Structure 1
Amino acid sequence: VGTLISFSIISLGAMGLISRLNIGSLELGDYLALGAIFSATDSVCTLQVLSQDETPFLYSLVFGEGVVNDATSVVLFNAIQNFDLGNFSSLKFLQFIGNFLYLFGASTFLGVASGLLSAYVIKKLYFGRHSTDREVAIMMLMAYLSYMLAELLDLSGILTVFFCGIVMSHYTWHNVTESSRVTTKHAFATLSFISETFLFLYVGMDALDIEKWKIVSETYSPMKSIALSSIILALVLVARAAFVFPLSYLSNLTKETPGEKISIRQQVSVILETSYVCYVL
C-alpha cells in the first residue's frame, strides 16, 4: 500500500513539476518509471546507520518496510516496462493493474513453492540429510534456482527469492542439523556484507565519474540540475510522509501499550533516513 501511494505521488508530481523544466521529451512511461524507482526505499544503507541492539523496534520497522517496498517497486517497474502506454485508456489501465497483480502473485507463488520444495528435499530425501555440505548446498542452490526460474518465466527474480527466503527460514531452517544452521547463518551474513560493501563502493566511485558530470554540465545548466534534484527530493519526502504517518496511525490503533506504538520521532526517522538514502542512490 505504501509503495503504491508513494508511486502515485511521485509520478503525478513529476508530471506536474519536472515537465515545466524543459529537460527533454519525457513520456508518460518515463514519469511512471521515475515514480516506481524513487518509491523504493533502500533499507540496506539505512540499516547500517541504525543499531539493532539500541533501537530494535525501529530497526525491525525499517527492515520489514524496506524489503517489501523494494520488491513491490521492482515488480511495478517491470510491469511499466512491459506495458504499452501508447493511447492510454481505462481498459489499458485495467490491463496494467492485471499485469502488476500477475507479476506479484506469480513471483510470490514461485518463491513459496521453491522454499517448500527445499524443505521437502532436505527432510524427506536421503541424500540431503545429515550432511552439512549437502544441506548448505541445497539451501543455496534452491534459492538460486527460484531466482533463475523467475527470470526464465519473465517474473520478478527479486520478489521470488525474497519469498523463497522467508519460507526457507520458517521450514527449511528447522530441518537441517545444528552445524548447518551455524554454517548457513555465517555464510549468508558474509555474502551479505561483501555485497553491501561492493554496492557502497560502486555508488561512491560512480558519483565521482568525471565523464558523467561533463555530460550533465553540457546538457543542462547548473540551476536546472539543482531545480531537478530539489524537486525529486521534495517529492520523495512528501510521498514518504503521505503513507508513513497514516499507516503508522492505523497501526497504533491496534496497539494497547505505549511501548508497542510507533512514536512520532520514529516515524520522522523512517521518513528522513530512507528518503535521503533513496535520493542519493
Structure 2
Amino acid sequence: MALELSLASASASPPAGWLAPPPPLAPPGKEQQVAGVGILLQISMLVLSFVLGHVLRRHRFYYLPEASASLLIGLVVGGLANISNTETNTRTWFNFHEEFFFLFLLPPIIFQSGFSLSPKPFFANFGAIVTFAILGTFIASVVTGVLVYLGGLTFLMYKLPLVECLMFGALISATDPVTVLSIFQELGSDVNLYALVFGESVLNDAMAISLYRTMSSVRSHAAAGENFFMMILQFLETFVGSMSSGVGVGFISALLFKYAGLDVDNLQNLECCLFVLFPYFSYMLAEGLGLSGIVSILFTGMVMKHYTFSNLSDNSQRFVSAFFHLLSSLAETFVFIYMGFDIAMEEHSWSHVGFIFFSIIFIVVARAVNVFSCAYLVNMSRPEHRRIPLKHQKALWFSGLRGAMAFALALQSVHELPEGHGKTIFTTTTAIVVLTVLLIGGSTGTMLEALDVVGDENTSIENYEDNNGYMPPTYEEGTSSGGGLRMKLKQFHKSTTSFTALDKNYLTPFFTSQTDDDDDDFSEQPQNRRVQFYDQ
C-alpha cells in the first residue's frame, strides 16, 4: 500500500526542472475580437472625453476641467472593469506601459509644447523661466527628497534610502499644469504669468526626467556619497548633450527646407512628410545615444518653429500646425484616460498612509521653497516695474499640478526599486496625481479670482511690440543692496538681449528666408495645447 501511494505521488508531482506547458492560445478570431473590443472602448472614452470637455467649456464650468474629466472617465471605466468579469485579454489593452507612454504618447505632446511657444513673451521672461525650470526643479527635488528621508529617520513615515528618496523627489517634481493653463487663457490672465507657468512646465519635464535618470544610475552603480560629483557631471552631460542634439537637428531641418526647394505646390506632400519625421528623428537619435529624447525633441520643436517653419510653403505651414496640435491633443487626452484606467486597475500599497500624508505636505513645502526663492532671485535682477508680484508668485505656487510624467516615472520605479519601496512610491504618486488634478484643477478659477489675476491689463502680446520684449531695462534704481549678486543677475539678464541681437542679425538670415515682417507671425500661434480647440 505504501508503495502504491509513493508511486501515485511520484506520478502526480512533476520532476525537478520540469516546466508547466503554456496556457493554450486563443483562436486567432478570438484574439482579433478581443483587440477590437479593447480599441472600441478606448475610442469611445476619447469621444466621450472630447464631447464632455466641450460641453463643460461651453458652459464655463471650471470646477471640472477637461483633464479632470478625462481622468474621471478612466477611473470610472477602470473601476467597472475591475469589479466585473471582464476578460483578462481585454483588460491588458489598458495596462499603462511606460515604453508606450515615452515612445508614442509623450513625444508629440513635448514637441507641441516647444513648437507652440510664442517667442516674444517666452524670451522676454527667458531668464525667469530657466531659473524656475532648472534651478527651481532641482531645489524642489532635493527639498522633497531630503524631507522624505528625514521623515523616515524620525519615524513619521515609511523609511527609504536617501537615493530612493531623491528619486521620488525628482519624479514628483514634474509638473503638468494643463488644466491651469487652459483656464488661464480662458479667463484672460497676465501674459507674463502665462509665459512663466507654461515655460516652466515645458522645461520642467525634461529637467525632472534627467534628474530621475541620474539618481537611478547612481543607485544602480554605487553609493551616492562617493559619486556626487560624477552625478552632477552625468546630469550636465545628459542635459547639455540632449539639448545640443535637439538644436542640431532643428538647424539641419532649417537648412534642408531652405535650400532643397520644397516649397512648391507639387512637393507639398513631401515637404510635410519630412517636417513630421524630423521630431521623431531627434527623439530617437538622443535615445540611441543614451541621452534624453524628451529634452532633445523639446528644443527641436523650439528651433523648428523659429527657423524651419518659415521656410515652408503657406499650405504646409497650416497643415503641420494643425497636425501637431491634433496629435498632441489626442495624445494628451488619451494619457489622462489611460492613466485613470490604470490607476483603477493596478494593485496599490495603502499600508503606509502616513507616507502619503506627509509626502503631500513636503511637496507643498518644496514647491513653496522653489517658487518664492527663485522669484526672489529673479526680482533682484529686474527693475521695479518688471518684478514678479507676490500674487503671481502665489499663482505659480498653486499651479504645480502633478500629472502623467510623474505617474509614468513612478510606474517605472516599481520595476527598478525593491517591491515594497516601488509600490509605496507608486501608490503615493497616484494619490498625489488624483488629488492635484481633481482638487487643484477644479479650484483654479476660484484661485485666479481670489488672487485678482484675472483680466490683468498686460494680457496682450502687443505689449512687447515696442521693444520686442528684449530691451534691457535701466538699473539705476535700487542698486544699493545685494550689490555683487544683483549685478551678476543683471548681467545674465542683459545676455538675453545679446542673444536676440545675434539671432536677428546672423542666425535668422542664415537659417531662414523670412523678412522682418514675418517675425510677428510667430507670436500669433496659440500657446495652450488644449485650449486651441476652443479659440473663437
Per the normalisation by structure 2, the TM-score is 0.47
Per the alignment, residue 370 of structure 2 pairs with: 243
Q: After superposition, where does 1:148-187 map in structure 2 within 5 Å?
A: 148-187=284-323
Q: Decide whether the 8 Å contact of 2:181 with 2:198 is kept in 1.
A: yes
- From the superposition, tell whether residues 232 and 114 of structure 1 become closer, same or farther in structure 2 (CA, over 3 Å): same
When the two chains are superposed, the root-mean-square deviation of aligned CA atoms in Å is 2.2
| Secondary structure, counterpart of 1:274 in structure 2 | coil
- Which residue of 2 is the match for residue 144 of structure 1? 280
Q: Is the 8 A contact 2:137 2:173 kept in 1?
A: yes
State how far apart, in whole Å, the 2-side matches of 1:177 and 1:58 are. 33
Q: Is the 1:46–1:274 Cα contact (8 Å) retained in structure 2?
A: no
Instruction: Determine the structure 2 residue equivalent to 1:280.
Output: 433
Find the partner of 2:387 among 237, 250, 261: 261
| Structure 1: distance between partners of 2:295 and 2:223 | 30
Per the TM alignment, residue 253 of structure 1 is displaced from its structure 2 partner at its CA by 3.9
Change (3 A) 1:89 1:49: same
Question: Are residues 231 and 73 of structure 1, via their aligned partners in 2, closer, same or farther at CA, if it must alter by over 3 Å?
Answer: same
Task: Give, in whole Å, the separation in 2 of the partners of 1:108 and 1:147.
Answer: 11
Is residue 121 from structure 1 mapped to residue 121 from structure 2 by the alignment? no
Match for residue 14 of structure 1 among 148, 156, 170: 148
Task: Provide the rounded CA distance (Å) in 2 between the counterparts of 1:251 and 1:207.
Answer: 39
Q: In the alignment, does 2:172 pair up with 1:38?
A: yes
Q: Which of 76, 80, 97 matches 2:211?
A: 76
CA distance in 2, matches of 1:205, 1:261: 43
Q: TM-score when scaled to structure 1?
A: 0.87
Q: Secondary structure at the match of 2:400?
A: helix
Q: Does 1:58 align with 2:185?
A: no
- Residue 359 (structure 2) aligns with: 232
Match of 2:243 in 1: 108
Query: Relative to structure 1, is the Cα distance of residues 22 and 9 closer, same or farther in structure 2, using a 3 angstrom cutoff?
Result: closer
Deviations along 1:61-89, one digit per CA (max 9) or x if unpaired, are 11101111111111111112223453343
Gaps of 5+ in 2: 1-134, 407-431, 435-536
Question: Residue 216 of structure 1: which of 349, 372, 378 is its match?
Answer: 349
Measure, in 2, the Cα distance between the counterparts of 1:117 and 1:193.
27
Over 3 Å counting, the alpha-carbon distance change for 1:32 and 1:250 in structure 2 is closer
Shift of 1:276: 6.0
**1:190 corresponds to:** 326
Offset, 1:21: 5.2
Q: Would the aligned equivalents of 2:141 and 2:173 in 1 still touch at CA under 8 Å? A: yes
> Aligned runs of 1:90-105 on 2, under 5 Å?
90=226, 92-105=227-240
CA deviation map 1:194-219 (0-9, x unaligned): 1111112122223333x52xx424xx
8 Å CA contact retained: 1:237, 1:272: no
Shift of 1:151: 1.0
Q: Which amino acid aligns with 1:280?
A: V
Provide the residue aligned with 2:450 in structure 1. none
Does the aligned pair in 1 maintain the 2:177–2:399 contact within 8 Å?
no
Q: Which residue type is aligned with residue 149 of structure 1?
A: L
The 8 Å contact of residues 237 and 275 in structure 1, kept in 2 or not, is answered as no
Q: Which amino acid aligns with 2:359?
A: I
* Deviation of 1:94 (Å): 0.7
Displacement of 1:27: 2.8
**Which protein shows a greater Rg?**
2
Letter in 2 for 1:216: S
User: Greater CA deviation, 94-103 or 49-58?
Assistant: 49-58
The answer to whether the Cα contact below 8 Å between 2:157 and 2:355 also exists between their aligned partners in 1 is no
Q: Is the Cα contact below 8 Å between 2:149 and 2:161 reproduced in 1?
A: no
Q: Deviations over 1:29-71 (max 9, x none)?
A: 3112101101111133432332266013322111101111111
Which letter does structure 1 place at the counterpart of 2:390? I
Distance, in Å, in 2 between the alignment partners of 1:33 and 1:46 is: 26
The 2-side partners of 1:96 and 1:244 are apart by 25
Task: Indicate conservation of the 8 Å contact 1:114/1:142, yes or no.
Answer: yes
From the superposition, tell whether residues 253 and 271 of structure 1 become closer, same or farther in structure 2 (CA, over 3 Å): same
- Aligned mates of 1:192, 1:206 — CA distance in 2: 20
Give 1:200's match in structure 2, choosing from 336, 339, 342. Answer: 336
Q: Distance in 2 between matches of 1:22 and 1:183?
A: 52
Residue segments in structure 1 that go unaligned for 5+ positions in a row: none
Supply the distance in 2 between the matched residues of 1:12 and 1:264 (Cα, whole angstroms): 27
Aligned-residue identity in percent:
32
SS of 1:262's equivalent? Answer: coil
